[in-house]
């Protein structure tokens, strides 16, 4: 793997936010005013975020931008706090989340359609995950979210719905009920059993990010295998393939570098 080529790829193809995330991950640089302005422009008065394709705040977009804020070390800022409140205020009575009904006016894909359990499980795992990363681990909302996820966990460890819902639940299950609990261990075992080295680099980086934030060490067989494959999947351009196409390739490269740095595969990077 060539870190320099990856950095050059992100500098050439990445947005200002992606380049700022890279700088925060590799060099601990705080985001500049222009990056903060761009993020603020995506935030709505209700505290949620709306990415350019949609004019309304959604659970998915809010969780996604909170992931960026995590990379940028913006925890506890007014922007991040308002976004966390947006998620907490929209938690459903059963402890899970669902996408906002207003999205139906914007022709959402199946996986973002409200009312489907497959939508609800992955969104609930995602919302709970980012709340953990923003310091909301020890609260009743997270315990309720855990109960929702466990209620939809099969004996195999799989959480009902899309495959990634199970990986995304690991950081939350690692807190409640804990990383020695059966729900956590079953979810981890199922994630290992269903992992494929044929996945795009972005999916492998996503899985690794969940494993890292769940506290799974680098010597775990799944982590070790996925790290080796992720490094081998770097393309000649310096980037990685994204399951969402070339428009998201710079984001995939940022995610890859994040987990590789987090797991010590990039022990030190010279200041740019």
Question: DSSP states of 20-36 as a string?
Answer: HHHHHHHH-PPPPHHHH
Same domain, yes or no: 12 and 107: no
Q: For residues 251 and 248, what is the distance between their CA atoms, to the nearest angstrom?
A: 5
DSSP 196: -
pLDDT of residue 138: 86
pTM across the whole model: 0.94
Ranges of H-type helices in 155-247: 164-173, 182-194, 201-213, 221-232
CATH code, domain with 74: 1.50.10.20
Q: What is the mean pLDDT of the chain?
A: 95
Structural domain range at position 14? 1-26+195-272
Categorize the per-residue pLDDT at 53 as very low, low, confident or very high, splitting at 50, 70 and 90. confident
Same domain, yes or no: 144 and 65: yes
Domain count for the chain: 2
pLDDT of residue 272: 52
Domain boundary among 168, 189, 210: 189
- On the question of pLDDT at 186 being above 90, the answer is yes
More confident position, 23 or 54:
23
Across 120-138, average pLDDT: 96
pLDDT of residue 268: 62
DSSP 158: P
What percent of the chain clears pLDDT 70, i.e. is strictly above it?
98
Categorize the per-residue pLDDT at 52 as very low, low, confident or very high, splitting at 50, 70 and 90. confident
Token pair of 60 as six digits: 């998915």
Same domain, yes or no: 147 and 54: yes
Residue 168 contacts residue 126 (beta carbons within 8 Å): yes
pLDDT of residue 31: 96
Q: For residues 107 and 58, what is the distance between their CA atoms, to the nearest angstrom?
A: 13
- On the question of pLDDT at 135 being above 80, the answer is yes
Ranges of H-type helices in 30-116: 33-42, 59-71, 78-89
Q: For residues 184 and 190, what is the distance between their CA atoms, to the nearest angstrom?
A: 10
Same domain, yes or no: 135 and 217: no
Domain boundary among 189, 223, 258: 189
The Cβ of residue 107 has, within 10 Å, a number of other Cβ atoms equal to 8
Same domain, yes or no: 55 and 3: no
Q: What is the pLDDT of residues 31-45, one digit of tens each?
A: 999 999 999 999 999
Residue 21 contacts residue 254 (beta carbons within 8 Å): yes
Cβ contacts of 190 within 8 Å, gap of 6 or more? 156, 157, 158, 166
Same domain, yes or no: 158 and 235: no
Q: What is the pLDDT of residues 58-104, one digit of tens each?
A: 999 999 999 999 999 999 999 999 999 999 999 999 999 999 999 99
Token pair of 147 as six digits: 């109960």
Same domain, yes or no: 87 and 125: yes
Across 17-26, average pLDDT: 96
Domain boundary among 189, 218, 233: 189
Same domain, yes or no: 209 and 99: no
Q: What is the pLDDT of residues 152-175, one digit of tens each?
A: 999 999 999 999 999 999 999 999
Same domain, yes or no: 35 and 144: yes
Same domain, yes or no: 40 and 78: yes
Same domain, yes or no: 123 and 208: no
């Amino acid at each position: 793997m060539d870190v320099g080529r990856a950095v050059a790829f992100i500098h050439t193809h990445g947005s200002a936010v992606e380049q700022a995330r890279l700088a925060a991950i590799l060099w601990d640089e705080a985001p500049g005013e222009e990056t903060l302005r761009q993020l603020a422009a995506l935030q709505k008065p209700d505290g949620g975020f709306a990415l350019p394709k949609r004019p309304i705040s959604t659970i998915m977009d809010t969780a996604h931008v909170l992931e960026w804020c995590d990379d940028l070390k913006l925890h506890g800022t007014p922007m991040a706090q308002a976004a966390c409140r947006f998620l907490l205020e929209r938690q459903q009575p059963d402890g899970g989340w669902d996408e906002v009904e207003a999205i139906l006016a914007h022709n959402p894909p199946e996986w973002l359609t409200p009312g489907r359990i497959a939508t609800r499980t992955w969104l609930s795992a995602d919302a709970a995950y980012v709340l953990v990363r923003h310091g909301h681990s020890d609260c009743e909302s997270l315990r309720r979210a855990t109960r929702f996820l466990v209620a939809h966990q099969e004996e195999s460890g799989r959480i009902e719905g899309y495959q990634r819902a199970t990986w995304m639940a690991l950081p939350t299950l690692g807190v409640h009920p804990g990383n020695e609990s059966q729900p956590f261990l079953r979810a981890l075992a199922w994630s290992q059993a269903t992992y494929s080295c044929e996945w795009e680099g972005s999916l492998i980086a996503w899985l690794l990010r969940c494993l890292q934030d769940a506290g799974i060490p680098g010597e775990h067989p799944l982590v070790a295998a996925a790290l080796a494959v992720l490094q081998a999947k770097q393309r000649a351009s310096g980037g990685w393939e994204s399951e969402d196409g070339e428009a998201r390739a710079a984001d995939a490269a940022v995610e890859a570098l994040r987990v590789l740095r987090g797991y010590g595969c990039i022990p030190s990077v010279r200041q740019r």
